[in-house]
């Protein structure tokens, strides 16, 4: 059996050349060096670092779709 987990680009830190990608349970952090020139290249290189366990590399949901402000109590 293989994963059907989507990859989500969670966070990009140009200053530290760091990217964080979530796939299912796990968040992977990577340093990209040299730092890519475009957002598309950043995403492509970040996703390329994440282990592939099936052919489904679609980026769903997008970070904006899952971003929330926490309710304060």
Q: Does 33 bind other proteins (CB under 8 A)?
A: no
Q: Does 73 bind other proteins (CB under 8 A)?
A: yes
Q: Does 40 bind other proteins (CB under 8 A)?
A: no
Torsion of Cα atoms, 64 then 65 then 67 then 69, to 10°: 110
Q: Give the rounded distance of the alpha carbon of 26 from its chain centre.
A: 10
| Cα–Cα distance list, 9 to 63, 71, 72, 73 (Å) | 7, 23, 26, 29
Q: Does 35 bind other proteins (CB under 8 A)?
A: no
Binds other proteins by CB under 8 A, chosen from 14, 17, 24, 56: 24
Q: Does 28 bind other proteins (CB under 8 A)?
A: yes
CB of 17 to other proteins, least distance (A): 12
């Amino acid at each position: 059996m293989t994963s059907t987990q989507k990859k989500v680009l969670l966070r990009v830190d140009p200053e530290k050349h760091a990217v964080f990608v979530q796939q299912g349970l796990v968040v992977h952090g990577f340093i990209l060096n040299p730092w890519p020139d475009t957002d598309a290249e950043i995403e492509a290189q970040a996703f390329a670092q994440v282990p592939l366990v099936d052919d489904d590399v679609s980026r769903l949901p997008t970070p904006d779709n899952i971003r929330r402000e926490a309710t304060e109590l």
